[in-house]
Structure 1
Amino acid sequence: MKQTLQKAWLNRGWLACLLWPLAQVYGLLVHLRRILYRHGFLRSERSGVPVIVVGNVIAGGAGKTPLVIALVKHLQAQQLAVGVISRGYGRSSPDCVEVTSSSRVEEAGDEPALIQRATAAPVFVANKRTEALCALLAAHPSTAVVVCDDGLQHYALQRDIEIAVFDDRGIGNGWLLPAGPLREAWPARKHQGIDLVLHTGRQPAFEGFTSSRHLSNEAYAVDGKRVALASLRGRPLTAMAGIANPQAFFDMLKNSGLTLEATLALPDHHAFKGSDLAGLDGRTVLCTEKDAVKLFRLPEAARLDLWAVPLEFSPEPAFFAGFDALLASRLSSPLPSKHGHQIA
């Protein structure tokens, strides 16, 4: 044990080693919680339709929302009625609500609002995802498949397919919170229900499917007007992003041949205010789609030349082939519930 800690001290940092005992306690609690759900001491609910959970075992954003959007569009292309549920991280309301094009982002959450805008699928948010699922199926009884945005650790909701998403961080130092970035142990969690692993970064750290991500050739304004990204080359631009990795967005803009005069990196799910735009009057400002659902609604944004640049994200074909095979077996077998869409 002493040699292990000494080696870790050198390889993983002194702070992580100081937090290592807390990580061990956290790991025991995570394991105990799984056992309690597995043996029915904690209630876990199942729906009458296949539920697909897209999440991650590493803290922070890893590309879940782009994958949810890609999956929903993939299912829609197969003429399947698909709905989405989410906790709606960062929203101000605890209520269960349906996200529509007129929903306030503060009540819906930025990512659910983006998913609804990008797919037009029914989207419901609630603090308890089982509550969002009940509301979704009650309002849209023809729903054939449900995609849950995040929720790998939300064991109160039973699922048919689990997809774990990783970015270029991989599993970091490999330790659990707070000594490392992991919510659950890896690769142990892989053998406890994970069906598919998808890497959203450029340098996968271990085995799994890959994906490509690049900026769209066009940007759009609040009124729907579009402009070719290439037409902005040579102009002084300001870029802002309130996402998990703002620098990745800035780098993609630079790789597209754009000149960034200034950048503003903000925390993920940042609640934009008019003061964030101070000093930008008249400037051409580029933002992500996720940030645009909040920025476009600010009165101060009218004083900017503000453009949202979409991210085009696509898992490799083999990922969709594996996903389709898994879903087909769920769709062709008898549904778990004999009472339509009721949850029991």
Structure 2
Amino acid sequence: MKAPAALVRGLHSAWRKKGWLSTLLLPLSWIAAAAVARKRSQFEHKPALVHHCRIPVVVVGNIYVGGTGKTPVVIALLRALQSKGWHPGVVSRGYGVKVGDRARTGQGDLDAGQFGDEPALIARTAGVPVSVHPDRTEAARRLRRDFPNVDIIVADDGLQHLALGRDLEILVQDARGIGNGRMLPAGPLREPADRLRYVDVIVTNLVAGQPDPAPVDSPARQVRMRLEPVKAEKLVSGETLNWADWLAEHGKEPASAVAGIGQPARFFAMLRHHGLTLSQTASLDDHYDYAESPFEALATPIVLTTGKDAVKCARFQDSRIWVVHAEPRFSDPGWLDHVHEMLRLIARHKASVVPRRRGD
């Protein structure tokens, strides 16, 4: 059961500093840290517990609980890989979806109720096959069986899912960095802060206009990312305009924005920074199920929402809804080429040393 939004906001506020509440919870964090260390040691000392695929596996994840902006990074990575001739597939938990013993696979225009909002968005946007299951190993095996042309797996989240072997790790954080540096529940971290020293790439997701943070103490390649709106699509008709044309045609009309993502304020800030005045905003819980329409409470003739929300909203047939398609702008665009070169070498090595196994 999800925690109430007010409680979540209160915890995130407390996790910015080492205040009295954080200090009170610190003994529980020590227990959590010990459990994480024990789990990692178990997988390190028993290699048979780890499933290694014959093709490269990239994990895109975070250690800060809640949304940091992984999905835009995943989509950018997928597109870059496709441009280099790869045939990627995605494995994901499928948040909020009851899958059963076997992973669920699909490609194209997928039902968010069957696959989860983020996998459905990734499948529609990047056109790649996806496989969802809480057990990422099961998801990877089923993906390979159902889509044998896949030659690289990108795991959307799963940095802490150690049973799935990985060849490269990309960690996504935002301006909050590591917060107060403490693990749950005294802080926001799923793993100790020094985990950042062992990933390959760190992408820092910043709000438009936000100053660059200090570099992280890590040998990883470090990249800053800012999302920019590139086009708007009318949900009921599919009419699409690039952002400049949309602003020229609709930017003077009263507009509201709705977001059910990890950090809705980032979406609203992006819209304002790129020329839009918002009359109202509605911040919903991450992965909001849209069992009822939140748009009816908004009186404006224009309502904007995210791609992640849009995969669950078509049934409302609300002609006011426009979907904002945003893309990342990286401070170091060459990091994607760097990842491609690393993966090319990894694929060549795997093909030469890893024996073929049935079902892999």
Q: TM-score, normalised by structure 2?
A: 0.86
- Looking at structure 1, the residues matched to 233 and 177 of structure 2 have their Cα atoms a distance apart, in angstroms, of 30
Alignment partner, residue 273 of structure 1: 291
Q: Which deviates further from its counterpart, 229-238 or 145-154?
A: 229-238
Which among 239, 243, 256 is matched to residue 225 of structure 1? 239
Compute the displacement of 1:101 (Å). 3.7
> Letter of the aligned partner of 1:129 in structure 2?
R
Render the CA deviation track for 1:252-275: whole Å, top value 9, x for unaligned: 212222221211100111111234
1: distance between equivalents of 2:47 and 2:151? Answer: 30
- What residue is the counterpart of 1:4 in the other structure? none
Q: Indicate yes or no: 2:32 matched with 1:51.
A: no
* Partner of residue 70, structure 1: 76
1:204 equivalent among 213, 224, 229: 213
Rounded to whole Å, the distance in 1 between the matches of 2:99 and 2:47 is 30
Say if 1:16 and 1:240 are closer, same or farther in 2 by CA, change over 3 A.
same
- What letter matches 2:317 in structure 1? A
Task: Tell me if structure 2 keeps the 8 A contact 1:212–1:314.
Answer: yes
Match of 2:22 in 1: 16
SS in 2 for 1:113: helix
The whole-number CA distance in structure 2 between the counterparts of 1:149 and 1:198 is 14
Corresponding residue number in structure 1 for 2:270: 252
Mapped contact 2:110–2:124 kept (Cα < 8 A): no
Is contact 1:219-1:229 (8 Å) kept?
Answer: no
Q: CA 1:60–1:42 in 2, change beyond 3 Å: closer, same or farther?
A: farther
Letter in 2 for 1:213: L
Show the counterpart of 2:189. 182
Residue identity opposite 1:339 in structure 2: R
> 2:345 aligns to what?
329
> Matches of residues 109-188 of structure 1 in structure 2 within 5 Å?
109-186=116-193, 188=194
Once the 2 structures are TM-superposed, how far is the Cα of residue 205 of structure 1 from its aligned partner?
4.5
Match of 1:338 in 2: 355
Give the Cα–Cα distance (whole angstroms) in 1 for the partners of residues 129 and 139 of structure 2.
11
Task: Name the counterpart of 1:310.
Answer: 325
Give the partner amino acid of 2:346: R
**Alpha-carbon displacement from aligned partner over 1:46-100 (angstroms, at most 9, x marks no partner):** 1110000000011111111111101110010011111111111122434521133
Secondary structure of the 2:160 match is coil
Give the Cα separation in 1 of the matches to 2:84 and 2:162.
29
Match for residue 8 of structure 2? Answer: none
CA separation in 1, counterparts of 2:15 and 2:91?
41
> Percent identity at matched positions?
37
Give the secondary-structure state (helix, strand or coil) at the position aligned to 2:29: helix
Provide the rounded CA distance (Å) in 1 between the counterparts of 2:73 and 2:254: 32
Range with greater deviation from structure 2 (275-284 or 59-68): 275-284
- Report the secondary structure of 1:247's partner residue: helix
Query: What's the secondary structure of 2:26's corresponding residue?
Result: helix
Deviations, residues 206-229 of structure 1 (Å, cap 9, x unaligned): 332222321114334333211333
Equivalent-residue separation in structure 2 for 1:50 and 1:303 (angstroms): 42
In 1, Cα distance between the equivalents of 2:16 and 2:233?
46
Q: Which residue of 2 aligns with 1:28?
A: 34
Following the alignment from structure 1 to structure 2, what is the Cα–Cα distance between the partners of residues 211 and 16? 30
SS of match in other structure, 2:181: coil
Residue in structure 2 matched with residue 3 of structure 1 by the alignment: none
Structure 1: 5+ residue runs without aligned partners?
1-7
Quote the residue 2:9 is aligned against. none
- Residue 10 of structure 2 is matched in structure 1 by none
Distance (Å, rounded) in 1 between the aligned partners of 2:120 and 2:15: 43
Could you tell me which amino acid in structure 1 is paired with residue 311 of structure 2?
Answer: V
Pairwise CA RMSD of aligned residues? 2.2
Residues 103 and 138, structure 2, Cα contact 8 Å, conserved in 1:
yes
Contact 2:170 2:202 in 1 (8 A): yes
Separation (CA, whole Å) in 2 of partners of 1:216 and 1:9? 34
Question: For each residue in 1:148-205, what CA deviation from the matched residue of structure 2 results, as whole angstroms up to 9, or x when unmatched?
Answer: 000110001000101111111100011001000111111x21344x111111214334
